Amino acid sequence: MSTGAVSPQHPAVPLRHRLNIDKMTPEQLAAFRAAMSSAMGISDERGYNYQAGIHGLPLPISCDVAHGRPIFLPWHRAYLYFFELALRDQQAGVTLPWWDWTTDRHIPHAYSERDADGHPNPLFCAKVDPIAIEQGAQGGDRKGSPTRREPGADGAPPLPSPKDIRDVLALGDFLDFTHQLEQLHNNVHVWVGGHMGDIPFAAFDPIFWAHHAMIDRVWRMWQLRHPSAGVPHRLLAEALPPFNMTVRETLDSNTLGYDYAVRSAGAAGTGSGTGTV
């Protein structure tokens, strides 16, 4: 799975690989942080607050079409796809990392250190859209800015285990699989706590994206394991608002230009191109 092609008219090109956050090189991590910092500094629709607000507040809460519904995985795949493009507009070549909470049972170091390389770490917290805060308070959900976490607090559900993932990967029906995977997803949101712990504010926390990349990765693994199973036909033409995509268009991550790898390293070849990042 090293190349992808959108159509027969397009040549196969090297895919980008989303990497395990704990295995990124210092250069890869620095590039990702730079992209996040740049996006956080933009107040229009290219910026972090706009992207985070798509999921929850400010109204409308667009992910409401996805949670608890069979388009949970396609909707979030589209969401990550467009967010990753927005990051790449700021820093060429970056991809979203994934947090493997089955093996890294804490907030990953890259996200838990307050400062990085002598600057505030953009993965530690993010400012929250003031309109979102105002609307949340109106509904009784009083969150502040910047984002906070309360990982593994008393009463939090456990992080999913390797066995939990093996069990969901063994499910042969898509609707069964997505339902059970969404439950594990819910557990991680609530385990992280704070802004991540409820729908209106979750995507403002920078770790949201690494969590959802892991969920998307598990779906990718399930697709590879069950190549003849898939999303029910009746769902394929469903739109995924506000994204101009249908469920069908999310099914193959390679046509979206990415795949998952633990690590990635490369070097220039004999031509003028550079190695893959």
User: Which residues of the chain form contacts with another protein (CB under 8 A)?
Assistant: 57, 59, 61, 64-65, 67-69, 135-136, 138-141, 148, 150, 153-157, 167, 176, 179-180, 183, 185-187, 189-191, 193-194, 197-200, 202, 241
Adjacent-strand bridge partners of 246: 239
Give least dist CB 141 to another protein, A.
4
CB atoms within 10 A of CB 44: 7
Cβ nearer to another protein, comparing 44 with 154: 154
- Closest approach, Cβ 139 to another protein, in A, equals 3
Q: How far apart are CA 77 and CA 263, in angstroms?
A: 21
Nearest approach, Cβ of 49 to another protein (angstroms)? 16
Q: For 166, what's the count of Cα atoms within 13 Å in the CB-facing half-sphere? A: 3
Nearest to 51 by CA among 244, 190, 202, 198: 202
Which residues have CB under 8 Å from 273's CB, separation 6+?
A: none
CA 78 to chain centre: 10
Which of 156/229 has CB closer to another protein? 156
Whole-number minimum distance, CB 242 to another protein, in Å? 12
Question: Considering beta carbons, is residue 237 or 268 the nearer one to another protein?
Answer: 237
Shortest reach from residue 258's CB to another protein, in Å = 25
CB of 140 to another protein, least distance (A): 4
In terms of CB distance, is 110 or 159 closer to another protein? 159
Cβ closest to another protein, residue 42 vs residue 199 = 199
Q: How far is CA 130 from CA 37, 127, 208, in A?
A: 18, 9, 19
For β-strands 239-240 and 119-120, DSSP reports them as unpaired
Task: Map tokens 């607050």 to a residue.
Answer: 49
Number of H helices, E strands in the chain: 8, 8
Six-digit token string for 181: 């995977």
Task: Give the three-state DSSP class for 58.
Answer: coil
**Residue placing its CB nearer to another protein in the complex, 14 or 151:** 151
Nearer to another protein, 61 or 236 (CB): 61
Task: State the nearest-atom distance from the C-beta of 169 to another protein, in Å.
Answer: 14
- Which residues, listed in sequence order, are joined to residue 70 by a DSSP beta bridge? none
From residue 174, alpha-carbon distances to 37, 74, 90, 246 in Å are 37, 12, 35, 17
